[in-house]
Amino acid sequence: MATQAVIWLIPVVPAVAFIALLALGRVRRAAAPYIGLTAAVLSLVGAIWAVVAVGRAGTINFDFIWLTVGNVPLKIGMYIDPLAAVMLVVVTTVSLLVQIYSIGYMKGEKRLSWYYAAVSLFTASMLSLVIANNFLQLYISWELVGLCSYLLIGFWYEKKSASSAAMKAFIITRIGDVGFFLGLALLFVNTHTFDFSAVRQIVAAGSLGAGTLTAIALLFFAGAAGKSAQFPLHVWLPDAMEGPTPVSALIHAATMVAAGVYLVARSFFIFEAAHPAALQVVAGIGAFTAILAAVIAVTMTDIKKVLAYSTISQLGFMMAALGVGGYTAAIFHLTTHAFFKALLFLGAGSVIHGAGTQNIYEMGGLLKKMKVTGWTFLIATLSIAGIVPLSGFWSKDEILTEAAKSGNYIILGVLLVTAFLTAFYMFRLYFVVFTGPVRDEHAHESPAVMTYPLLILAVPAALLGLAGSPLLGNWFTKFIALPGAEHIAAAPDYLMMGLSTAAALAGIGLAWVMYKRNLSEERFGRTLFYFFNIAKRRFFLDELYQFLIVRPIMRLAAASAWFDIKVLDGAVNSVGPLAVHGGYRAAQFDSVVINNVYDSGINIIKTIGEATRRRVNTGLIPRYLAYILAGFVVLAVIVYVLFVMVK
């Protein structure tokens, strides 16, 4: 009973904080952070309590009837299984640390209490999403977190780009939600319940057709793809970086964007019962998103955009894991990713705070100026790159193992290449930002209130993975596993570990060669020139470039001091620049094609509306009279032909 009360309080406390902040915020602005913080601490305590309770007694599920429609009861409830418990801890921890960090980062902000109010509302909604015991409650929270995301992306609305980005994020995720909503309606019409366990029973009983289940699964996945920024609905996430950096860390890296993965995990039993094509779609889209975003990340020069694309890529990893049946692997990666990516974002925020710019080429040598930020960033970078024994290594390795086990070698190959690219772009970022000559003498370390959260986050970012590693007997995996699958112990796959480490090291090495040449650039160029010895193919490559590379991109590349002819000449030619150029092309595809589809979609509708209103709604009564009569005749004829004559 006490546990139930505690679990109720987990989302309620931040919600109360939201109301309190709205009410008191105007009066006592200075107190705002502490109201938010208190709520976050209480939620964290509650979450830990819940985890312990789940660990002891297994899944907790209770609810009360919210309303009865016809004879169908709709419930509000709490469903804490290991999956939800893990998510609870992730959300509350990151939220707490981000709020502490924000004290420093948002110092002097005029609308500080509004900021904390929105963050608290977000936390409450996200927690309610996580502990929902039915799809309706999940959907409601799902929309609420979207709304909070909208408000927080547009927090600095004086910047026009921020308010456009907020709008775009909301619209694009809503496009995915079309699917989620229809899937929900389809589910309800067929099962007359939203309850997870009831739906699970109905699905297990096999009374639903595979076609219906597949439709529901794919519609849910559309919603998940919108929220988790999967191709082609991923374009909103890079733009969302207009929001304050702590918000990016909380919402657009660790928690909300993972909600899509969570949804697919939650309804995994539907995917499993559906036609295999459903999971194949998930795997395919996930893997494609992973590699596409990784390639684009290589080219970004804005520190936050690199991380945004990295997030998209990692979410693609998780989706791909789910697609190949690696349920636990996906959740494992979700958890580790939440911590190291939050750390990266907060680190980036600290860098931006200290260096006063977001362009990585205007930074450099920051490790000397910002010790804590630099070293914690390095931990997170190593972790995401997948270096033993950091968190990212274990979870990524588990995904690769699952992909190999499923026999889907295309996905496996794509993910391995992505792992390589991940190491490459992350270390490119690290080398450019933190090593090399100091470019800005005024750069300074952030205040303690910002660096302590970094230090705290560095611990799970480095070590959490061990919980799921074979060293500790795959404890995490067993804890999280679906009922009945707990004992399938994943034997350590040394081949996969070797491959992923090789990919990571190759990526780091390439980045080192390409971006850390200030140590001895000529020698490395020459060494590698002999090493790979592909000079003969140079002409061919040059022509290929001429042919393939669009001029503006070439100019951009030339303008960059880092893009030195030596490198182009050198042996690295075969991989590095290809990745970079491929990245530019992908980025171009991304910004030109996908963004244009979105923009032109809106523009087309706007143009149609504009043209129609100028031509049709002319304001002239005779026209209106004529249109009414003509419309009437057309309607009557169509319906007559369709429903009277045809019969």
- The SS3 of residue 80 is strand
In the set 442, 487, 536, 647, which binds another protein (CB under 8 A)? Answer: 647
Check residue 69 for interaction with another protein (CB under 8 A). yes
Which positions from 38 through 57 interact with another protein, judged by CB under 8 A? none
Check residue 609 for interaction with another protein (CB under 8 A). yes
Check residue 209 for interaction with another protein (CB under 8 A). no
Point out which span in 43-51, 468-476, 494-502, 625-633 binds another protein (CB under 8 A). 625-633
Check residue 541 for interaction with another protein (CB under 8 A). no
532 vs 627 by CB, closer to another protein? 627
d(CA 428, CA 37): 35
d(CA 122, CA 328): 26
Phi first, then psi: what are they for 365, rounded to 5°? 65, 20
Other CB atoms within a 10 A radius of the CB of residue 218 amount to 18
Check residue 19 for interaction with another protein (CB under 8 A). no
In the set 174, 405, 444, 478, which binds another protein (CB under 8 A)? Answer: 174
359 vs 612 by CB, closer to another protein? 612
Residue 77 near residue 64 (C-beta atoms within 8 A): yes
User: Considering the complex, what minimum distance in angstroms separates the CB of residue 644 from another protein?
Assistant: 5
Residues that bind another protein (rule: CB under 8 A) add up to a total of: 67
Point out which span in 170-178, 197-205, 371-379, 462-470 binds another protein (CB under 8 A). 170-178
66 vs 269 by CB, closer to another protein? 66
User: Considering the complex, what minimum distance in angstroms separates the CB of residue 153 from another protein?
Assistant: 10
Check residue 29 for interaction with another protein (CB under 8 A). no
d(CA 110, CA 32): 12
Phi first, then psi: what are they for 185, rounded to 5°? -65, -40
Residue 344 near residue 384 (C-beta atoms within 8 A): yes
Give the Cα-Cα-Cα angle 178, 183, 187 (nearest 5 degrees): 155
User: Considering the complex, what minimum distance in angstroms separates the CB of residue 68 from another protein?
Assistant: 6
32 vs 184 by CB, closer to another protein? 184
d(CA 440, CA 254): 30
Residue 583 near residue 295 (C-beta atoms within 8 A): yes
Check residue 630 for interaction with another protein (CB under 8 A). yes
Name the DSSP letter for residue 446: P
Q: Where are the alpha helices (DSSP H) in 193-255?
A: 196-205, 210-227, 236-239, 245-249
What is the per-residue burial (b if ≥16 Cβ within 10 Å, else e) of 94-118? bbbbbbbbbbbbbeebebbbbbbbb
d(CA 577, CA 590): 19
472 vs 635 by CB, closer to another protein? 635
Residue 265 near residue 327 (C-beta atoms within 8 A): yes
**x-or-dash string of contact with another protein, 138-167, rule CB under 8 A:** -xx--xx--x--xx--x--xx---xx--xx
Check residue 232 for interaction with another protein (CB under 8 A). no
Check residue 70 for interaction with another protein (CB under 8 A). yes
Check residue 205 for interaction with another protein (CB under 8 A). no
Name the DSSP letter for residue 445: P
Point out which span in 30-38, 40-48, 177-185, 423-431 binds another protein (CB under 8 A). 177-185
593 vs 605 by CB, closer to another protein? 605
**x-or-dash string of contact with another protein, 547-566, rule CB under 8 A:** --------------------
89 vs 153 by CB, closer to another protein? 153
Distances (CA, A) of 429 to 23, 63, 253, 305, 635: 43, 48, 17, 11, 61
In the set 188, 532, 563, 589, which binds another protein (CB under 8 A)? Answer: 188
What is the per-residue burial (b if ≥16 Cβ within 10 Å, else e) of 580-619? bbbbbbbbbebeeebbeebeeeeeeeeeeeeeeeeeeeee
In the set 522, 543, 599, 610, which binds another protein (CB under 8 A)? Answer: 610
User: Considering the complex, what minimum distance in angstroms separates the CB of residue 605 from another protein?
Assistant: 6
For residue 249, which of 129, 132, 93 has the smallest C-alpha distance? 93
User: Considering the complex, what minimum distance in angstroms separates the CB of residue 273 from another protein?
Assistant: 20
161 vs 546 by CB, closer to another protein? 161
552 vs 609 by CB, closer to another protein? 609
CA 360, distance to chain mean position in Å, is 22
Phi first, then psi: what are they for 64, rounded to 5°? -135, 160
User: Considering the complex, what minimum distance in angstroms separates the CB of residue 267 from another protein?
Assistant: 18
Residue 139 near residue 187 (C-beta atoms within 8 A): no
Point out which span in 387-395, 441-449, 577-585, 627-635 binds another protein (CB under 8 A). 627-635
- Tokens standing for 44? 């964290």
d(CA 318, CA 314): 6
- Tokens standing for 140? 């409601």
Distances (CA, A) of 326 to 63, 88, 263, 360: 30, 21, 15, 36
Check residue 628 for interaction with another protein (CB under 8 A). yes
Point out which span in 413-421, 527-535, 569-577, 623-631 binds another protein (CB under 8 A). 623-631
Check residue 189 for interaction with another protein (CB under 8 A). yes
User: Considering the complex, what minimum distance in angstroms separates the CB of residue 171 from another protein?
Assistant: 6
Site of interaction with another protein (CB under 8 A): 66-70, 139-140, 143-144, 147, 150-151, 154, 157-158, 162-163, 166-167, 170-171, 174-175, 177-178, 181-182, 184-186, 188-189, 602, 605-606, 608-610, 612-614, 617-622, 624-632, 634-636, 638-640, 642-645, 647
